[in-house]
Chains A and B, each alone.
Chain A
Amino acid sequence: MTEIRESGEQFVRAWRDNAATLQAAHAYDPAHEHESCGVGFVASIDGSPRRDVVTSAIAALQAVWHRGAVDADGKTGDGAGIHLQVPLDFFREHIEHTGHTLNEGRMAVGMVFLPRTDLGAQERCRIIVESEILKFGCFVYGWRQVPVDIEVIGEKANATRPEIEQIMFSSPVGRSESDFERDLYIIRRRIEKAALAEHITDFYICSLSCRSIIYKGMFLAEQVASFYPDLTDERFVSNFAIYHQRYSTNTFPTWRLAQPFRVLAHNGEINTVRGNVNWMASHETRMAHANFGDRVEDLKPVVQSGSSDSASLDAVFELMVRAGRELPMVKTMCIPEAWTDDGLMPQSWRDLYAYANAVMEPWDGPAAIAAYGGRWILGGMDRNGLRPMRYVVTQDGLLIAGSETGMVRVDEATVIEKGRLDPGDMIAVDLVDGGLYRDSELKDLLSSRKPYGEWIKESTKIDALIKAEHEEKPAFSREELRRRQVVAGWTLEDMELILQPMAETGKEAVGSMGDDTPIAVLSDKYRGLHHFFRQNFSQVTNPPIDSLRERRVMTLRTRLGNLGNILDEDSEQCDHLLLESPVLTNAEFHAMRDYMADTAAEIDCTFPADGGPSALEEAIERVQREAEDAVRGGCTHVILSDMGTCAERAGLPMILATGAVHSHLVRQQLRTFTSVNVRCGECLDVHYLAVLIGVGATTINPYLAQEAIADRQARGLFGDATLEAALGHYKKAIQDGLLKIMSKMGISVLSSYRGGYNFEAVGLSRALVARFFPGMSSRISGLGLSGIQQKVLRMHARAYDEAAVPLPVGGLYRYRRNGERHAFDGAMIHALQRAVEGDSYHLYKRYAEAVYAQPPVNLRDLMRFKSKNGAVPLDEVESITDIRRRLVAPGISLGALSPEAHETLSIAMNRIGAKSDSGEGGEDPSRFRPRPNGDNASSAIKQVASGRFGVTAEYLNNCREIEIKIAQGAKPGEGGQLPGIKVNGLIARLRHSTPGVTLISPPPHHDIYSIEDLAQLIYDLKQINPEARVCVKLVASTGIGTIAAGVAKAKADTILISGHGGGTGASPQTSIKYAGIPWEMGLSEVHQVLTLNRLRHSVTLRTDGGIKTGRDVVIAAMLGAEEFGLGTASLVAMGCIMVRQCHSNTCPVGVCTQDEALRAKFEGTPERVVNLFSFVAEEVREILAELGARSLEEIVGRTDLLAQVSRGDPSLDDLDLNPILVRADSGGYPVFNTVAGRNEVPETLDAQIIKDAKPVFELGEKMQFTYNISNTQRAIGTKLSSKLVRKYGMSGLQPGHITVRLRGSAGQSLGAFAVQGLKIEVFGDANDYVGKGLSGGTITVRPMTAASFASNENTIIGNTVLYGATAGKLFAAGQAGERFAVRNCGAEAVVEGCGSNACEYMTGGTVVILGAVGDNFGAGMTGGMAFVYDADGTFAHRVNPEAVIHQRVETEYWEDVLRRLVTEHARETQSRYAERMLMDWQREMPKFWQIVPKEMLARLAQPLTLGAREQRA
């Protein structure tokens, strides 16, 4: 970090000013802040308060610092805190100090943050607090100024430090604890409202309770007891303690955001928060409870505006708990376990969940929570298990749970149980009666409390009903169909490319390369309203969900009708209709309509084609009015339909109509009384339906798509398929697509997605968005109602002109002359190729001028340079060589590219000292040495993507930079796929897989579910390569600025912002078109927010996605980039002609194919690539000279040199680029990277090991080391492996050459990338990511010899073990967590049980599991083999049968393999469990299953079954 140039006060002032400027320009929204954390709790199982509960929690906070971030001053943390029982003895003394004696009322304490510097406001707050307390008949003892030690907090934290005081008071006599606690809840809400009414903002009540108190603030976690000396007082005893360490994505210290909150502390992120908060607002209408009576009004709004996701969830938890629901029930309602109608789950639990589903939309997203609700202290996990929570039960009666094992040091001899929470699980202690409740005990308890099975019979499942009765038949004539298609803006291309595959195969169409058409607002063609909505997606702060391989946690279940009072607990709440899917065919719709009878109102959504200039707006208002009247009149279903479209009437865009009705009903507090059902002609693809649901639709009937399918079916285009079958396919494609779109945002439940506006508008009028899609972001404004009306009417005129209309041919996906414009058209491709072939800068300029002469395609085309100084002579501008070094050939994998093309790029970029990016898929080690002619084909940047293909210690040590690809511009939030046809011998070897077998990259990195996980991966990579810089690749989206700030705090050196135009080898067409935003928007936001947070100078910013000229480079620099990627352009330079069939392996120019015959056509040369980059650099020089700049660095972030020249089409309301051009004041810090080398991370144990291992490196000796460790020592063995691989290569040492023996709890990433020759033995346990990327090393983990518990019944290693391992061995005497051996492709491992999703995506290696496994075993497993010991015969319910078969071990060969591994496990870990099993082998062996991927069946070297051997013989 650079020196500190601002004082804390200056920083705070500048930050606030900057934030206000950026917010005013719509460039930044604090609502996008994210946070992530470490969390945990300690509880006394018998409920008795103990001092060691408190000290343990404080100790735990000292062992989670690495899950938080530290500011440059080394003192300002992102927040930490602790939640405890109120220590009565302690406060009695302080009450006495106030001159009072304790009265008979119940004592309560409020922990209050008051404005510190504004003494007037401070006093007003005290008055508000006291008067509200007094109104409830309480007695106030007085205030206590909480002693704090400001020495331990940073300057910035101190600058925003509140005055921290406690108010001590007592209840009226005789008030019970729970009644008083409820009073206090109401009092606190009243106080908060009163303070808000007085516009006091720096006021916050941490806790106001007679039971518990929260100490929190902006210090480092380990400083909690130093900052609050209270906590060191021996009288602080408690029967529970919740602790929390926060990691936030900004650097501004905001005290109130520290956790724990009043009920819960949360590690995770609620992805559905917008939908949840909106629905809560709707629920408030009906909210009532006897406990609150009239006071319920004081509680509204339940969720205060501006709350973080965790705070919002806490508010709902608090409401429900105070209303009398038990805490475990509240967790079950808000964060339910995933459930389906089949499987092993008891019926009573299913009934419980069905009831919970009827009452409340789940709050969905990664979550490990620790919550306190008076009687209960509880730990809970989300439905996907996306956060770790490990626990220990000790002999002396403590339950210790937290994000990591080892946070509280416990003597293993005293441990009774070591466990973990699986997805959807809970663990709790009843603090009143005492007692530990594990997951199933809790759920049994809850499900027996009420007759939920009876209640849910009130719900009517209408799926069966609507399928039986009606027949699908076409309703329109050919001509009518044609006109309606034209009016909907459909083309032949839509029919062939989009609709046909859906109805024929049930899958969405796949395309390749990027989107190079104009963004919708810049197009002169008709683009439906859905084109203006870009799908939100998660990156870094939360993971996308894998909608294909982890489908079981997702649901499209849809409730229709009247929703009840969420605070009730009775059967009436279940009185509504239920559907398994919101997508209805025509027959299904009619059946549903018949069933609804007069409970439904149909509303015509058309307007007169010859109406006045505001005909559309009037129609929308009419529709809103009619909907409102219908609901007020008692209708429980509203049906919006554009069926009435005809020659005289034009249809409203149904997205607009739906959004208008939904938002209107929400504002009128009527939405909860009705369903909103949409019959829409325009919707065709998945994206359109997703938008409709996102803006509030309950069900959708895409009737015109159905008619088009019927027409095609009648013409025989689906072969022999019936219309029902084709419609079934279409519906399936839509449903899977909806799941995919939800999963990108990390949302697994449709009811929480509905009305969540999980989109951002690009080019829609801000006023229109605020009116109809409130809360959705729309930064640059654009098309408004009048423009929409013009567009709709133009299409209407075309469709209903007198002549018979042909369906336009299209051109949106592939260039067609009369279709949409494409930035790279034929002339442009040829012009560029001629220039680079002929080495002619003159021809290049002709190409560049042709690019500039195009009508605008990108936002940057609306800008021009604004020179402030005179020109400088060209000679004075930095050289081509200097500029070229900033250019990058972005990541395109070998696999997508042919080896020839891939190497050509690397050689070219190395020749000019620039960087090429390997992409995902590894690189042939032979490329790591320069060739005889001096060419270097090793990519300077090595990519690490979610598949971890080819990521070995050697690969990572042969680069200057490691890029973590979080998301890809063409398909953010989705995984990738390399079709089997492209996996030839070379590709398979590099990816450690099998030729011909399809390779799948998961949507998330399974070791990055949150920002602290990313920090961990960065840490690991900086260990395995001690010199390489680490780059994190993100995709532009609104809110990316705060994510980037988090990434910068995670010690990334470069952040790459990819635009939506980026390329792809294969991706669903709707993803290419509708996800991600232009890099101009993302880049400028990142630059601004990093500047705001004083992080900009510590990272390099890079951008890519459609950059193809020097002008693009200069504009990117002005928007904040220092490095620039040219992907498609460099492909074109090598001969690519945009055939866009990369996914078909038929590239006719040999660029993007593995077919030998086609590869022979490759004519690209390094010279052509060098020419391209030189020409671009030369053009940059010319522009710089004109602008009077001598280097690119001078213009980084200089948006003042840009001016908007065009505001787009006159029909637009306004198209305002100011959000992109606004600048934050840098406060004297540079706005480009000033870090030479890289941002270093703290050393780990390896520094010591390497020192001790000198003889190994100097003399090659065999050695053994022994150390004691704790969970803060992470990635043990990784840096050592780097040294080893550099010295001895991947296989230069024999296994076990160096043995490192460790005692204690190992931190995360134990033995990551460990190489052959290294053996790590742990006595104790280990956390997540053991053996990540294992490259040949051996790891054993076993309990301490003193431990008395049974190893196979306890958890010993964490989640995501062996992720991407390519070779090596792991033996763990105990259970592993979730996703064991995910994407393992070579390691052998034995564990004694594991959580869900084990062996997911595995492509090689052998895994033996000697105990029970969780659900979804072997999903997407395409290689390798697994053996599972199934004692209770439930494995068949656990396995995901899509990709694998399971059978008993039949042949001797495989039995030997199994037995050898179990024997080795027993030897390595001394596991008594395994030893017993071996002794009884003949009896135990038949209980094993052998699991083999289907794709491997024909490829196994040894037969699986006896029969097969005979056949072969």
Chain B
Amino acid sequence: MTTDRMLKFVGTAKRMPTKRPADERAGDFGEIYDEFDAAAAGEQAARCSQCGVPFCQVHCPLHNNIPDWLMLTAEGRLEEAYEVASATNNFPEICGRICPQDRLCEGNCVIEKGFESVTIGSVEKYITETAFANGWVKPVVPPRERPETVGVIGGGPAGLAAAEQLRKRGYQVHVYDRYDRMGGLMIYGIPNFKLEKDVVERRSALLADGGVVYHPNTEIGATVTLEELRARHDAVLIATGVYKARDIMCPGVGLDGIYPALDYLTASNRKGLGDAVPAFDDGTLDAAGKRVVVIGGGDTAMDCVRTAVRQGAASVTCLYRRDRANMPGSQREVANAEDEGVDFQWLSAPEAFIGDGRVAGVRCHRVRLGVPDATGRQTPQPVEDSSYVVDCDMAITALGFDPEDLPVLFGAKGLEVSRWGTLRIDFRTMMTSLDGVFAAGDIVRGASLVVWAVRDGRDVADRIHDHLAAKAAGRARDAA
């Protein structure tokens, strides 16, 4: 009986897949976790309590049926486990690697308190890698081809998830991306040590095999206009993500040697993919031998500090104006970064960049946390006369992303945006102010997680299907 094999958390301790030692892993860009072997995956999956109300699922944006595939894994029924896992998630192997599980499923695991959570992410990764290894992962073969075509702008997680879902129903799907590869931030934003690039490319290739047509290097508004796409397709999905780096406003911000996080990470990732990257090769975006300061406390900041470590930085310092408990990024990533030698300076905010033409240091002041505001977060207050300087050769700002000005970029005046610049949609239909034009992912919700993008992509695929099915039914009625 299932419960005989499960509920082992009382007697079995949590064990993650082996993590390579910090000094070893800091020397390369390989993923830091090994894979579970079958026995370990089964044993760890069997720790699941098989809850009546699985809070892991409740707090998973995709509502993955986690207890079910844990149970199937514990029983060694991996093909079924993959079937269940992939029924709610287009990229389980990617979510298994990069989701901040400690804030989502694992963080809400009911045995977390005292027993430490089930290693949900690692098992998810194990299931899917096993599925790939055994050839269970197959390209989409739609039951029938539909005549309608859908154009998807943006080959990131939202766009690709939507593309795959639509393709399953037999729609003709075209994905347009301004970069040369599909995957969006999954390919250029997230460093290899979290997500090796062949994992992403394996997925995009699978979609292509399933009949999704890619149009790389296509800039909407430049290569092709939105109007053209609308004419070409029965529906258009905008899933561009948000790319505009949030600026820091302080003296010295114009100095050389200060870079937005994404520029820095993209260069590193492109190098990893073997591309020629002049700005890296000339040392501009290479942290090797430099004293690096990263400003910000989110996951992107963590990616930057850990990349800098791997590039051989002389020192890496992270400045964040709140304390550890109040940082938005994953605690697990912070711990990894600390292990790898990053110096975290909590409660310190940059005042100015100093240097002569090129940045040489960041002047900061200490911060104390005041009373919580309406959102429940404590507001940072500067501590007077607490300035000090952190010397540096390279400063990376990772303060978040804002949407680009799409109506201007796309030359589509009618495309309504919110006051934050995100696209305004009808939340019932997920359609923008333009008929037949849908939007999903970060460009609607603001910078967020890959898993939310996948969720949005799946949701919008259903809405697009509803829209197209209704139109088809209308046509059939008219014809009759």
Check B217 for interface membership: any CB of A closer than 8 A: no
Q: How far, in angstroms, from A826 to B58 measured CA to CA in the complex?
A: 7
**What residues of chain A lie closer than 8 Å to B87, measured between beta carbons?**
806, 809
Q: How far, in angstroms, from A134 to B111 measured CA to CA in the complex?
A: 86
Check B49 for interface membership: any CB of A closer than 8 A: yes
- Are B63 and A818 closer than 8 Å at their CB atoms? yes
As a 0/1 sequence over residues 423 to 446 of chain B, the CB contacts with chain A under 8 angstroms (1 = contact) are 000000000000000000000000
Interface locus among B1-9, B178-186, B293-301, B310-318: B1-9
Known contacts A803-B143, A1148-B9: does B51 contact A1138 (CB below 8 Å)?
A: yes
In A1142-1158, the 8 Å CB interface with B consists of 1144, 1146, 1148-1149, 1155, 1157-1158
For A1137, give the chain B residue with the smallest CB separation. Answer: B110
Known contacts A717-B77, A1138-B53, A1148-B113: does B58 contact A504 (CB below 8 Å)?
A: no
In A1484-1500, the 8 Å CB interface with B consists of none
Q: Smallest CB–CB gap between B397 and chain A, Å?
A: 36
- Are A825 and B58 closer than 8 Å at their CB atoms? yes
- Are A1139 and B57 closer than 8 Å at their CB atoms? no
Q: How far, in angstroms, from A1504 to B77 measured CA to CA in the complex?
A: 47
- Are B110 and A803 closer than 8 Å at their CB atoms? no
Residue from B49, B52, B54, B59 in contact with A513 in the complex, judged by beta carbons closer than 8 Å: B52
- Are B68 and A809 closer than 8 Å at their CB atoms? yes
Check B368 for interface membership: any CB of A closer than 8 A: no
- Are B52 and A1139 closer than 8 Å at their CB atoms? yes
- Are A1158 and B84 closer than 8 Å at their CB atoms? no
- Are B75 and A717 closer than 8 Å at their CB atoms? yes
Residue from A504, A1141, A1161 in contact with B114 in the complex, judged by beta carbons closer than 8 Å: A1161
As a 0/1 sequence over residues 634 to 669 of chain A, the CB contacts with chain B under 8 angstroms (1 = contact) are 000000000000000000000000000000000000
**What residues of chain B lie closer than 8 Å to A826, measured between beta carbons?**
53, 55, 58-59
Q: How far, in angstroms, from A806 to B84 measured CA to CA in the complex?
A: 8
Q: How far, in angstroms, from A491 to B75 measured CA to CA in the complex?
A: 18
Check B71 for interface membership: any CB of A closer than 8 A: yes
Check A829 for interface membership: any CB of B closer than 8 A: yes
The count of chain A contact residues (Cβ–Cβ below 8 Å) is 43
Check A843 for interface membership: any CB of B closer than 8 A: no
- Are B54 and A497 closer than 8 Å at their CB atoms? no
A-B contacts counted at CB < 8 A amount to 106
Residue from A496, A806, A1137 in contact with B2 in the complex, judged by beta carbons closer than 8 Å: A496
Check A189 for interface membership: any CB of B closer than 8 A: no
**What residues of chain B lie closer than 8 Å to A1144, measured between beta carbons?**
3, 7
Q: Can you name 11 extra interface pairs (CB under 8 A) apart from A504-B1, A717-B75, A803-B142? A: A509-B1, A804-B143, A806-B83, A806-B84, A806-B87, A817-B63, A825-B53, A1140-B52, A1141-B7, A1148-B9, A1148-B49
**What residues of chain A lie closer than 8 Å to B408, measured between beta carbons?**
none
**What residues of chain A lie closer than 8 Å to B169, measured between beta carbons?**
803
In B99-153, the 8 Å CB interface with A consists of 110-111, 113-115, 142-144
Q: Smallest CB–CB gap between A160 and chain B, Å?
A: 53
For A825, give the chain B residue with the smallest CB separation. Answer: B53
As a 0/1 sequence over residues 1222 to 1238 of chain A, the CB contacts with chain B under 8 angstroms (1 = contact) are 00000000000000000
For B76, give the chain A residue with the smallest CB separation. Answer: A716
- Are A814 and B51 closer than 8 Å at their CB atoms? yes
Q: How far, in angstroms, from A496 to B72 measured CA to CA in the complex?
A: 10
Q: Smallest CB–CB gap between B121 and chain A, Å?
A: 19
Check B73 for interface membership: any CB of A closer than 8 A: no
- Are A492 and B58 closer than 8 Å at their CB atoms? no
- Are A814 and B2 closer than 8 Å at their CB atoms? no
List 14 A-B pairs, Cβ < 8 Å. A496-B71, A497-B2, A500-B1, A501-B2, A802-B143, A803-B168, A815-B57, A817-B58, A824-B53, A827-B58, A1144-B3, A1146-B49, A1155-B10, A1158-B10
Check A92 for interface membership: any CB of B closer than 8 A: no
Check A816 for interface membership: any CB of B closer than 8 A: yes
Check A1379 for interface membership: any CB of B closer than 8 A: no
For A1157, give the chain B residue with the smallest CB separation. Answer: B10
- Are B84 and A492 closer than 8 Å at their CB atoms? yes
Check B50 for interface membership: any CB of A closer than 8 A: yes
Residue from B51, B59, B142, B143 in contact with A1140 in the complex, judged by beta carbons closer than 8 Å: B51
Q: Smallest CB–CB gap between A817 and chain B, Å?
A: 4
Q: How far, in angstroms, from A505 to B2 measured CA to CA in the complex?
A: 11
- Are B52 and A1148 closer than 8 Å at their CB atoms? no
Q: How far, in angstroms, from A500 to B3 measured CA to CA in the complex?
A: 11
Residue from A717, A803, A806, A814 in contact with B54 in the complex, judged by beta carbons closer than 8 Å: A814
Q: How far, in angstroms, from A817 to B53 measured CA to CA in the complex?
A: 10
Interface size class of B (residues with CB under 8 A): 35 or more
**What residues of chain B lie closer than 8 Å to A814, measured between beta carbons?**
50-54, 67
Check A992 for interface membership: any CB of B closer than 8 A: no
For A816, give the chain B residue with the smallest CB separation. Answer: B65
**What residues of chain B lie closer than 8 Å to A1483, measured between beta carbons?**
none
Residue from B2, B50, B57 in contact with A500 in the complex, judged by beta carbons closer than 8 Å: B2
**What residues of chain B lie closer than 8 Å to A497, measured between beta carbons?**
2
For B87, give the chain A residue with the smallest CB separation. Answer: A806
Check A822 for interface membership: any CB of B closer than 8 A: yes
Check A135 for interface membership: any CB of B closer than 8 A: no
Check A715 for interface membership: any CB of B closer than 8 A: yes
**What residues of chain A lie closer than 8 Å to B7, measured between beta carbons?**
1141, 1144, 1146
Q: Smallest CB–CB gap between A500 and chain B, Å?
A: 7
**What residues of chain A lie closer than 8 Å to B77, measured between beta carbons?**
715, 717
* Highest count of chain A CB atoms <10 Å: which of B9, B52, B54, B58: B52
- Are B84 and A809 closer than 8 Å at their CB atoms? yes
Q: How far, in angstroms, from A813 to B54 measured CA to CA in the complex?
A: 12
As a 0/1 sequence over residues 64 to 85 of chain A, the CB contacts with chain B under 8 angstroms (1 = contact) are 0000000000000000000000
- Are B53 and A1139 closer than 8 Å at their CB atoms? yes
- Are B10 and A1146 closer than 8 Å at their CB atoms? yes
Q: Smallest CB–CB gap between B13 and chain A, Å?
A: 12
Residue from A804, A827, A1141, A1161 in contact with B50 in the complex, judged by beta carbons closer than 8 Å: A1141
Q: How far, in angstroms, from A1448 to B345 measured CA to CA in the complex?
A: 81
As a 0/1 sequence over residues 1243 to 1273 of chain A, the CB contacts with chain B under 8 angstroms (1 = contact) are 0000000000000000000000000000000
In B148-174, the 8 Å CB interface with A consists of 168-169
Q: How far, in angstroms, from A699 to B3 measured CA to CA in the complex?
A: 33
**What residues of chain A lie closer than 8 Å to B142, measured between beta carbons?**
803
**What residues of chain A lie closer than 8 Å to B110, measured between beta carbons?**
1137, 1139, 1148-1149
Residue from A496, A715, A1146 in contact with B9 in the complex, judged by beta carbons closer than 8 Å: A1146
Q: How far, in angstroms, from A809 to B10 measured CA to CA in the complex?
A: 26
Q: How far, in angstroms, from A497 to B142 measured CA to CA in the complex?
A: 32
Nearest first, the 8 A-B pairs at minimum CB distance are A1140-B52, A817-B63, A826-B58, A802-B143, A1139-B51, A1138-B53, A1138-B52, A501-B1
Q: How far, in angstroms, from A814 to B59 measured CA to CA in the complex?
A: 16
In A501-519, the 8 Å CB interface with B consists of 501, 504-505, 509, 513
Q: How far, in angstroms, from A935 to B96 measured CA to CA in the complex?
A: 50
Q: How far, in angstroms, from A806 to B3 measured CA to CA in the complex?
A: 23
- Are A1139 and B49 closer than 8 Å at their CB atoms? yes
**What residues of chain A lie closer than 8 Å to B50, measured between beta carbons?**
814, 1139, 1141
Q: How far, in angstroms, from A1149 to B7 measured CA to CA in the complex?
A: 14
- Are B49 and A1141 closer than 8 Å at their CB atoms? yes
**What residues of chain B lie closer than 8 Å to A1148, measured between beta carbons?**
9, 49, 110-111, 113-115
Q: How far, in angstroms, from A1155 to B7 measured CA to CA in the complex?
A: 13
**What residues of chain B lie closer than 8 Å to A813, measured between beta carbons?**
52
**What residues of chain A lie closer than 8 Å to B55, measured between beta carbons?**
826, 1137
- Are B57 and A816 closer than 8 Å at their CB atoms? yes
Q: Smallest CB–CB gap between B407 and chain A, Å?
A: 35
As a 0/1 sequence over residues 34 to 75 of chain B, the CB contacts with chain A under 8 angstroms (1 = contact) are 000000000000000111111101110001010110010001
Q: How far, in angstroms, from A241 to B266 measured CA to CA in the complex?
A: 104
Q: Smallest CB–CB gap between B38 and chain A, Å?
A: 15
For B62, give the chain A residue with the smallest CB separation. Answer: A817
Residue from A505, A513, A824, A1146 in contact with B1 in the complex, judged by beta carbons closer than 8 Å: A505
In A810-840, the 8 Å CB interface with B consists of 813-818, 822, 824-827, 829
Q: How far, in angstroms, from A802 to B3 measured CA to CA in the complex?
A: 35
**What residues of chain A lie closer than 8 Å to B54, measured between beta carbons?**
814-816
As a 0/1 sequence over residues 1400 to 1413 of chain A, the CB contacts with chain B under 8 angstroms (1 = contact) are 00000000000000
